[in-house]
Structure 1
Amino acid sequence: MRLCTRGCRPYDRRQNYLAFFWRETNPLSLFFDHLQIQVVSGGQTGVDRAALDAAIQLDLPHGGWCPRGRLAEDGPLPPHYQLRESRSANYAVRTRKNVVDSDGTLILYRGEMTGGTDLTRRLARQHHRPCLPLDLAGQPSPDRAAAWVIAQKINVLNIAGPRESSCPGVYQQALDYCRQLLERLV
């Protein structure tokens, strides 16, 4: 273990080489030690759940709002997801609260934005919150999202997108993407 000459955190050479290379060669990495990322989401299956699981796997703070009764399409959310229940069982209420209570929203989708995913985009615009929609079908680079998070000075990041039933396979794709993104930010 040695101290980075730029005054950032000590690093361990045994860590993932690609993450090390990206941090050491990217000028934006100078700002990483000042970010304290918290992931928020509504807890629905698909992208929401993938974002929360990625945060949990990386031991990052997570939270957000969920509908009353901890509703999700696969039943009540398990208690290990640290979400607060809104007073309403309406999904749109928790979507609005997550957009408003966060510093910015990352929307991960495939193909076309519909339903709650499109509502999230419209609410971010309506409430003048930074929003980055990324089509996972185009295999976007996590570096792009990381640069956006840094440029927007986002500490509380809302991650949203379609549910698993409307976009089969999106959970795993979003989980992989969120892990790569969050690894770049911690």
Structure 2
Amino acid sequence: MTTLITAIRSGGQTGVDRGALDAARAAGVPIEGWCPAEGWAEDRPEAPGLLADYPELRETPSPEPAQRTEWNVRDSDVTLIISPDTEPGSSTGSPGTALTKDLASSLSRPVRTVGKGDIEDIVEWLRNQGTELTVNIAGPRESEWPGAYEASYRIVSGLLRLSAGDQPSTPA
């Protein structure tokens, strides 16, 4: 049997990005991604920034988060956006999340936005995209959506648990 998710990619910003990276680490799934030059993040503005905790990430030449966002979408098979914006009356107003959606469309990359979402439906969507996927996880910063880290960690952990059924079994 083939592997559904081979890596989780994210830019390491507070909130959704870090929740996804930490969930993948806890599950033993490789993490990767692009981050702004010098590892900039809203809570880690000075070098080495978030790279001190996530050395698997690589720096873009630009300190601007937009380049990181574009390269993470470009270098992934699919993008999953975790955001409360899917729920009626809820909006983070996250410019980075809006940019991610636009870039996925312009780069012709599959993208899906989920809120609390049914994990089984998300796994089914991923299965329809192929196997051995590098999944870019994106969404609002913690300052834009308090609780983003916890929501992302829960959703990505669930995805990785459910998709583990697609992993090859070891012979007895």
Q: Is the 8 A contact 2:51 2:57 kept in 1?
A: no
2:79 alignment partner AA? T
Q: Compare CA radii of gyration and give the structure with the larger one.
A: 1
**Structure 2 length normalisation: TM-score?**
0.84
Identity of aligned residues (%): 41
* C-alpha displacement of 1:53: 0.3
Q: Which residue of 2 aligns with 1:117?
A: 97
Give the number of aligned pairs.
152
Q: Which runs of 5+ in 1 are unaligned?
A: 1-7, 9-32
Q: Distance in 1 between matches of 2:51 and 2:39?
A: 8
Match of 1:164 among 142, 148, 160: 142
Note if contact 2:94-2:144 (Cα within 8 Å) is conserved in structure 1.
no
CA RMSD in angstroms comes to 1.3
1:5-53 CA-partner distances (Å, limit 9, x unpaired):
xxx5xxxxxxxxxxxxxxxxxxxxxxxx343420000000000000100
168-177 vs 121-130, which deviates more?
168-177
Query: Is 1:41 aligned to residue 10 of structure 2?
Result: yes
Superposition deviation, residue 114 in structure 1: 2.8
- Relative contact order, higher structure (CA 8 A, sep 6+): 2
* Dislocated runs of 4+, deviation >3 Å: none
Query: Do the aligned partners of 1:66 and 1:86 also contact (CA within 8 Å) in 2?
Result: yes
Match of 2:25 among 44, 56, 65: 56
Residue type at the aligned position of 2:16 = V
1:99-178 mapped onto 2 (5 Å cutoff)? 99-110=73-84, 111-112=90-91, 114-134=94-114, 136=115, 139-153=116-130, 155-178=133-156
